[in-house]
Amino acid sequence: MVEKVYVTYNEVHKLCQASADQILNEFKPNLMIAIGGGGYVPARILRSFLKRPSAPNIPIQAIGLSLYEQLPSTKPSDPVETPGTKVTRTQWLDLSSLEMTNLVGKNILIVDEVDDTRTTLEYAVRELQKDVETAAHKLGSKGKTQFSIFVLHNKDKTKKGHLPQDMMDDGRYLAARTVSDVWICYPWEATDIDEHDKLAASQARY
């Protein structure tokens, strides 16, 4: 049976808060790209902690990637999902608009909720790098675009996907918390938030 861990909004908020100084001081992001749907809420919370007096808010753009597949369950109200094998784009940046030119030469922070198999993160970094290189070529720009990653949770397991070695060597990957290979239930996935919080309160903290 899959072990489930229930995470509350309060916990997500505190994980973002605890990570903000390191992100700001080491990654120095000019822009965030949230991977939907799990990266949207952490990115928005994080933006509040990255805001500095007299400085503008860090912009957030969004991409949508899907990897998980729902498995049959004996309880319709308690579905279980498992990582799939193919990443599907459900939303992407508009390559014909200013969105891509705004990425060139920037420090870009990719935000997601969990690093499970690392397949989604690998896909996001690889494809965004390709698109930025194309945009830079069109602009004739030689400005360096640097990607970094923030996730709430990293699962301590063998990864199927791989991130650029220079990113890992430079420490441009940050997980607020590393956990065992459990199924993490985030509050934005809940259809009954009161029940979700009750389950979170009753479990041993991960």
- Catalytic residue set: 116
Tokens of 180: 């065992």
> 67 CB contacts (<8 Å, ≥6 apart)?
83, 84, 86, 87, 88, 117, 119, 120
Measured in whole angstroms, the distance separating CA 118 from the mean position of its chain's CA atoms is 11
CA distance 112 to 106: 19
CA distance 23 to 13: 15
Contact 174, 23 (CB under 8 A): yes
Secondary structure (3-state) at 196: helix
CA triplet 17, 66, 194: central angle to 5 degrees? 50
CA distance 199 to 193: 10
Secondary structure (3-state) at 171: coil
